[in-house]
Amino acid sequence: MKKNIFILIILFGQLSMVIAQENQPVDDAVKQEKIKALYVAYVSQQLAFTPDEAQKFWPVHTQFENDLGGVKKELPELDKQQARLNIKKRYQDNFNKIIGTNRCERFFRMDGEFKRKLMDRVQKQRNNQQRPRPNLRRGQ
């Protein structure tokens, strides 16, 4: 358990370093690749994939993400949510065959948790950048 917590701390520490690079111009594509690498490491570690499972899981996951990304942005919010849910249900059987029912359920929970934590970090970073810094000169 301590090992898992330690790995999570390291992963999210690295994620915060990716997001926190204020003065260095970093391409969005590079940021996306780093976040994706952290995501893959996080999911692989949490679900303890065997090499065979990982080899089967990640191509299906890539198609899953592509299908989720293909949901039209201009749809009403409830229709977008329903479309995403339908895609998740459609892929659930594929994931069950590769990693089993229990780990499939954990995957869907972890996927949402990772994305929420990522959005929280981004929001915190934006809030910290927008706050004016106090003048810390001596003698005032």
Residue 64 lies in a domain: yes
What gap in Å lies between CA 66 and CA 32, rounded to an integer? 15
Residue 140 lies in a domain: no
Q: What is the pTM of this model?
A: 0.68
Cβ neighbour number for residue 24 with a 10 Å cutoff: 6
Cβ neighbour number for residue 39 with a 10 Å cutoff: 19
What tens digit of pLDDT does each residue of 62-80 get? 999 999 999 999 999 999 9
More confident call, 131 vs 113: 113
What tens digit of pLDDT does each residue of 126-139 get? 888 776 655 556 55
Q: Are 43 and 110 in contact (CB under 8 A)?
A: yes
Residue 80 lies in a domain: yes
Domain count, the chain: 1
Residue 111 lies in a domain: yes
Measured in whole angstroms, how far is the alpha carbon of residue 55 from the centre of its chain? 20
Domain range enclosing 102: 2-19+29-119
What gap in Å lies between CA 71 and CA 83, rounded to an integer? 7
Residue 125 lies in a domain: no
